[in-house]
Structure 1
Amino acid sequence: MSAAHTVLGEVAADRLGVVDAHDHLFIQSPRLPGQEMDDVEDAAARLSAFGSLGGGTVVQWTPYGMGRRIAQLPALSRGSGVHIIAATGLHQAAHYPDTLLASVRDRLAELFFAELTEGIGDTGVRAGLIKVAGGFHGLDAHAVLTLRGAAEAHRHSGAPIAVHLELGTGALDVLDLLCGELGVAPGSVILGHLNRSPDFTVHRLAAEAGANLAFDGPSRANHATDWRMPDALRALADAGFADRLLLGGDTVTPDTPGMPHLLRRVVPRLELDLGKGLLEQILVTNPARVYTW
C-alpha cells in the first residue's frame, strides 16, 4: 500500500494534512557561510508554529552531506505533532568539498536507495524522497550524474524525485533527461522554485509533460516573482493543471520567513486569488499523492 515515508515511519496519505511541500529544518553549505541552520531549539519553534497554524507535514529537502541532522528529526516530529519527511540525494557540486563528492560519485544510486529502504546512517530513519539539482538554464556534468543516480534509485524504490531548479530555470532540460532518456514517470518528478522564473509558457509545458510544479520560498533578489506567483498558479489551474501544483516555504537561512510565514501570510493572500477549494487541493490533496509511494 502506498504511504508517505516519514521520520517516524509510514503514514497514510489522508493523515498528512496541510503539507509544506519543500522546506528545511536544518541545512549547511559552504555557499552560505555563517548562515547555517543547525539550531534544534529554533527548528522546534518553527515546527510548533507551523503546527499551531494548522500545518500537518513538512518535507525537508536537505540532501546527503548538508547537515540534515537526521537523528534529531524523530523527536522534533513527536514534540510538535507535525510529520516530517526527510530526503536523500545530492545537491549541486558547489555545496560540497571535493573529498566528499569523490567518496560518493561512483555509488550515488546505491547510496540513495539504501537511505530510502534501509535507513540513513545508524538512525533507522528512512528517507522519503530523492533531492537533486539542475544547473542554471541547463545541466552540467554533475547534475547529469546525480539525476542518473536518482533515476536508478527511483526505479528500484518508487520514491519521488525532487529537483532544485537554479533560479527556477532548466525545467525542460531536467524533464528531457529524467523522463525522456531515463524513463522516470513525470508524475514522480517535482520541479522546485518555478516561482523564481515566472515564465508561464515553461510552466505550462512542464505541466503538460506531467510533472509536479512546486512554488516554494520567497524571492531574495526580485520581488516581482513573488507577486506574480498567484497569477502563475491561476493560469495553470485554469489550464487544467490544478492537480500538478505544490507550495513550500523553503527556509534556507535563519532570516528566511519560512514555514510559519507560508501559512500566516502566503496562503491567505493566495486564497483571495484562488479560492479555498483550490488552496486545499494544492496544500492537502496534491502532496498526499506526490509524497506517497
Structure 2
Amino acid sequence: MTGVVRTVQGDLDPGQLGVVDAHDHLFFRSPLLAGQELDDVELARRELEAYAAVGGGTVVQWTPYGLGRRAGELPALAAATGVRIVAATGMHQSAHYARELLAARADDLAEVFVRELSEGIGDSGVRAGLIKVAGGFHSLDAHARWTMRAAAEAHRATGAPIAVHHELGTGALDVLDLLCGELEVPAHRVILGHLNRSPDFVAQREAARSGAYLAFDGPSRANHATDWRMPDAMAELAAAGFADRLLLGGDTTTAGARSVSGGPGMPHLLRRVRPRLEATLGKDAVDRLLVDNPAGAFAVEWH
C-alpha cells in the first residue's frame, strides 16, 4: 500500500506536513452564518502567516462543495505563507444549501466527489484531498445517508479519507455503523469530527476502538465550552491506549473568530491549547497528535 497527502500544491509524503491543524477553514460561506462569511483572501493570508509564526505547518480545510471554498486561491496562499493546505470535497448538512443545488446533484453526487479528488475542483485544477460529510444531532437523516453513501463510493474509487461533522459531537457510533459496517469503509480511513463537544468518554472510547480517528476541534468556539474538557478527554483516551487515534483542529468558521480579527483563530491551537495538553499528556504525546497522527489520517491510500 502506498500513501501520500494530497495538498493544493500537489501530492506530498505524509512526513512533510509538520504540525497540522487537522480541521479548519480559510473560506466558508453558508446561509446559516449570513454576514459572518470567511471570504477575504488577504485576511486568510494573514491568518496563515500568524499560524506559521507559532510553528504551524499544514492546515486541512474541511469546507466542502458549494460553501465558498475558493479553491483557486489556495495554491497562492500556500506558496505565499509556506503553510501546506489540504482542500475538501464532500457535502455538509442540507440546511447549508439551497434546494435547487441539492436537486441538481441528486443523481451524480459520488461522481462530483471523485472528479474533485482526481481531476480538480471546478476549473481551478486544485484536487481535493479528503471527503467531508455530516450527520445530525444524535441521528442520520436521509440527506446524511445519501452523502455518506456517495462518500464511501468516492473513497473506494480514490482512496481518500472521509471526515465527518458530528452535530454537537453526537452520533459517532451511528456514523461508524453506516460507513464502516454497512458501507465497508475501513475505520482507519474515517475521521470523526467535533467529539470534544460531547464529553461522553464511553462513546469516545468505543469510537476509538473501531480504529477511526477522533478529531478534537473547535477550541474556544464562543458557542461550545470545549477547552476545559479537552485535556481530560484526551488523557482518558490515551490511558486506554488510543493516543494514536487523536487529532487536533481549530474549526474557524466565522470572520470574527480569526486571530487577525480579534478571535482565537488558528494560532490559538499552538499558543494556548498545545501547552495545556502537554501539561496533561506530555510533550511526546502532543507532538504525536499534531504531527504523526495527521500524517496517517490524511494520507490518500491505494493498493
TM-score normalised by length of structure 2: 0.95
What is aligned with 2:294? 287
Report how many residues are paired: 292
Please give the secondary structure, in 1, of the residue aligned with 2:33. Answer: coil
- 254-263 vs 5-14, which moves further: 254-263
Contact 1:160–1:291 (Cα < 8 Å) also in 2:
yes
Please identify, of 255-264 and 64-73, the stretch whose mean Cα deviation from structure 2 is larger.
255-264
Q: Which amino acid aligns with 2:286?
A: L
Spell out the pairing of 1:59-208 with structure 2 (5 A cutoff).
Answer: 59-208=60-209
Q: Which residue of 1 aligns with 2:222?
A: 220
1:147 maps to amino acid: M
Q: Are 1:217 and 1:258, in contact at CA under 8 Å, matched by a contact in 2?
A: no
Structure 2 counterpart of 1:123, one-letter code? S
CA distance in 1, matches of 2:171, 2:272: 29
- Equivalent residue in structure 1 for 2:285, among 267, 270, 278: 278
1:105 positional shift? 1.8
TM-align CA RMSD:
0.8
Deviation of 1:222 after TM superposition, in Å, equals 4.4
- 1:23 corresponds in structure 2 to 24
Distance in structure 2 (CA, Å) of the matches to 1:228 and 1:71: 37
- Matched AA of 2:281: L
Secondary structure of residue in 2 paired with 1:179: helix
How many angstroms apart in 2 are the aligned matches of 1:183 and 1:104?
24
CA distance in 1, matches of 2:3, 2:210: 23
Q: Distance in 1 between matches of 2:20 and 2:109?
A: 28
The amino acid across from 1:221 in the alignment is: N
Cα drift, residue 19 of structure 1: 0.3
What residue number does 2:45 align with? 44
In structure 1, stretches of 5+ residues that fail to align are none
What is the distance in 2 between the residues matched to 1:59 and 1:142?
Answer: 24
SS of equivalent to 1:132: strand
SS in structure 2 opposite 1:31?
Answer: helix
Whether the 8 Å CA contact 2:227–2:273 is kept in 1: the answer is no
CA distance 1:280–1:150, change in 2 (3 Å): same
Shift of 1:264: 1.0
Partners of 1:220 and 1:178 lie apart in 2 by: 31
- 1:215 Cα shift? 0.1
Aligned sequence identity (%): 66
- Within 2, Cα distance between the matches of 1:244 and 1:255? 31
**What amino acid does structure 2 have at the position aligned with 1:118?**
E
Aligned to 2:274: 267
1:175-199 alpha-carbon deviations (Å, 9 max, x no partner): 0000000000000000000000011
Quick one: distance in 2 between partners of 1:146 and 1:264? Answer: 36
Which residue number corresponds to residue 212 of structure 2? 211
Deviations 1:219-261 (A, max 9, x none): 43342x3211100000100100011000000000112222111
